[in-house]
Structure 1
Amino acid sequence: MPTIEKTIDVKVPVNIAYNQWTQFETFPNFMDSVVNVKQLDDRHVWWLAQIGGKAVEWEAEITEQVPDDHIAWRSVSGIRNTGVVSFQHVDVHSTRVRLEIEYETDTVAETAASMMGVLELKISEDLERYRQLLESRKAPAGGWRGHIPSDADNALRH
């Protein structure tokens, strides 16, 4: 599966960058291909996107979430993908956001787009809109501060 890794610095504290990312239903505001997102429960999120002129949906499960540090996920239906977004303190007013997504292409057109860097460019543009959204806000957005332990953490406790 192809992997895309992108990093962007945003001029907001870590907690604000993290809090915004936990507001999954706002993703259509900065992710161009995302049409709709619904938070089903603390661990599950339903996505609808427009990819290559085709409506695509999937459900993702959050596999680990540590406030102000990272959120990891994997798809449990639809398009196969996994990823992690991490938040690194740069200074009191800046955060480095690193996004890594691994995804499966299911058509020749998607494979070609991936090879030509089209998806990588789209993700860069989405992250730039995320940065602009955060930096233009006058007040921080809400956020979910819950902790979701990894499957490995759960196994160690039993």
Structure 2
Amino acid sequence: MSRVKESIEVDVPVRTAYDQWTQFESFPQFMDGVERIEQRTDKLTHWVTKISGVKREFDAEITEQIPDAKVAWVTVAGEGEQSGLVTFQPIDPTHTQVTLMMDFDPEGMAENIGDKLGFVDRQVKGDLKRFKHFIEDRGTATGQWRGQV
């Protein structure tokens, strides 16, 4: 298993950052390689990704979700084994620290080499930067889900 952890400060209140992160179907707008996400239930999402020409489909189950604090998930079906946690920490009333931690199991020689060369770390860092620009440019979330899992 490999692990990646990246953080970024976003210039929006914690509620705005969290509410946007719960809009999983908007992820393709700021996550490279994510083609589509379907939210099938409150706890189940279906992902279609294409990274470095490799297309994958998998289901991820939300294992814990606490408004304005965190979202945790684990893959439950499809290609690739992965789990993760994103946390939201208020810095002050208008700034939030977003931290993304992910454990994943690279498959095949190409993914193992890419992992060792830091590709996943750079991918996550870039996705967080794009999230920052996305939410700061909007100023408000595209929706919200305030339920708890």
Shorter-chain TM range is over 0.9
TM-score by length of 2: 0.97
**What secondary structure does 2:42 align onto?**
coil
**AA partner of residue 60 (structure 1):** A
**AA partner of residue 48 (structure 2):** L
Q: Is the 8 A contact 1:68 1:87 kept in 2?
A: yes
1:10 equivalent in structure 2: 10
**C-alpha distance in 1 between matches for 2:55 and 2:135:** 28
**What secondary structure does 1:121 align onto?**
helix
1:19 aligns with 2:27: no
Q: Identify the structure with the greater strand proportion.
A: 2
**What secondary structure does 2:32 align onto?**
coil
Change over 3 Å in CA distance of 1:44–1:113 after alignment to 2 = same
**What secondary structure does 2:148 align onto?**
coil
**AA partner of residue 41 (structure 1):** T
TM-score by length of 1: 0.92
**C-alpha distance in 2 between matches for 1:99 and 1:91:** 19
**AA partner of residue 140 (structure 1):** A
Question: Unmatched 5+ residue regions in structure 1?
Answer: 149-158
Give the fraction of aligned pairs with identical amino acids, expressed as a percent: 39
Q: CA deviation at 1:77?
A: 1.0
Question: Unmatched 5+ residue regions in structure 2?
Answer: none
Residues 50-65 of structure 1: pairs in structure 2 closer than 5 A:
50-65=50-65
User: RMSD of aligned C-alpha atoms?
Assistant: 0.8
Q: CA deviation at 1:108?
A: 0.4
1:90 equivalent in structure 2: 91
- Larger Cα Rg: Structure 1 or Structure 2? 1
**AA partner of residue 6 (structure 1):** E
Runs of 4+ aligned residues of structure 1 deviating over 2 Å after TM superposition are 138-141
Q: Number of residue pairs matched? A: 148
Q: Is the 8 A contact 2:16 2:140 kept in 1?
A: no
Q: Is the 8 A contact 1:16 1:141 kept in 2?
A: no
